[in-house]
Amino acid sequence: MPDLVQDALEGFVVTAAFAGNTPVFALGDGTVRFGSGAAQRAVSVHKGAILVARPDGAGAILTAGDDGRVCRVTPDGAVTEIAARPRKWIDRLAVGPGGAIAFASGRTAWVRFPDGKEKTFEHARAIGGVAFAPKGMRLAASRYDGVTLWWPSAEGAPQDLVWKGMHLDVTFSPDGRYVVTTMQENALHGWRLADGKHMRMTGYPSKVRMVSWSAKGRYLATAGAQAAVVWPFHFKDGPMGRAPLELGFRSGLVTAVACHPTDEVAVIGYSDGAVLASRFADDARVSLREPDGAAISALSWDASGARIAFGTETGPAGVIDISE
């Protein structure tokens, strides 16, 4: 049976993840909490709210907030300010190769290279999201009417991917063949980079606020419907002309989704607080958390695929251990 340890945190859980082996929760009150249960400890990081947080892949978590700071926080409680833009809200953040990071506010994105140097990228409209390609130093910035692809280590004009409408978050497929955005309307849009072919993914009753690639990038699991909608990307033309899988259909809306790091299994969080795991092959399900009315806002697996960190919009957060 799954083992659940839950804490009654106060505030919106922006990110639930793992810093190395340690569960970590970034909260809207500006604090970061490491661990769970009686061993949990709080670290005050931002004067205002944390707007976005990402594990850095090296045992720490990166946070950005409405105080204009980007910080690196380690499980021992050490806070290092690595960038500051006073009077700006830093609400977009991505982790790149070799310790590079990208962050954005308004129409401006910055890339901070591993040696500490920075480069600025201006856009004509507000940026919706930033993401690095899985290989090489290539940055995608989503914005109104499409995505701009930059090569931060080189000079030269960027590449524009055009589609009308406001594009919010952006992601590369793990093989680097596709770029996909969530949109202000209830849809995803994608491009195949080899030839610019468009991919329109619709049918959602609400905005898609979270996506997660499966192992090896075969599927893209998405929130925003009464089931986790899982688009196949392992065919020649990606999801075009293919019906998506629908996993874990319930009366509540799917608000968070995270794919297992090695197996074709997704953990799904709902607007009523329920959490379950579903297998792609047959939608076989295991209940991991009973509904309590606290909408799930964050989900993440650890590297081994044995534990799941979760957070909610109203504070309850914790770790589910499925290793037994």
Question: For residue 153, what pLDDT is reported?
Answer: 92
DSSP string, 264-290: SEEEEEETTS-EEEEETTT--EEEEE-
- Specify the domain boundaries for CATH 2.130.10.10 within the chain: 91-203, 204-323
Domain 91-203 belongs to what architecture?
7 Propeller (2.130)
d(CA 252, CA 65): 30
d(CA 125, CA 209): 21
The total number of residues written for the chain in this structure: 324
Give me the chain's average pLDDT, please: 96
Q: Which residue has the tokens 């030839």?
A: 195
Q: For residue range 88-115, what is the model confidence (pLDDT) as tens digits?
A: 999 999 999 899 999 999 999 999 999 9
**Residue of 71, 245, 307 whose CA lies nearest to 299:** 307
Question: For residue 136, what pLDDT is reported?
Answer: 83
Cβ distance 191 to 161 under 8 Å?
yes
**Residue of 204, 199, 252 whose CA lies nearest to 229:** 204
Cβ distance 14 to 28 under 8 Å?
yes
Q: Which of 29-33, 55-59, 149-153, 320-324 has the lowest mean pLDDT?
A: 320-324
- Tell me the percentage of the chain whose pLDDT exceeds 70: 100
DSSP string, 164-182: EEEEEEEEE-TTSSEEEEE
Tell me how many helices (H) and strands (E) the chain has.
0, 30
d(CA 261, CA 239): 21
Residue 209 has pLDDT above 70, yes or no: yes
- Tell me the percentage of the chain whose pLDDT exceeds 90: 91
CATH class assigned to 204-323: mainly beta
Pick 38 or 192 by higher pLDDT. 192
Cβ distance 299 to 310 under 8 Å?
yes
Q: What is the DSSP letter of 205?
A: S
Q: From the CB of residue 98, how many other CB atoms can be counted at a distance below 10 Å? A: 8
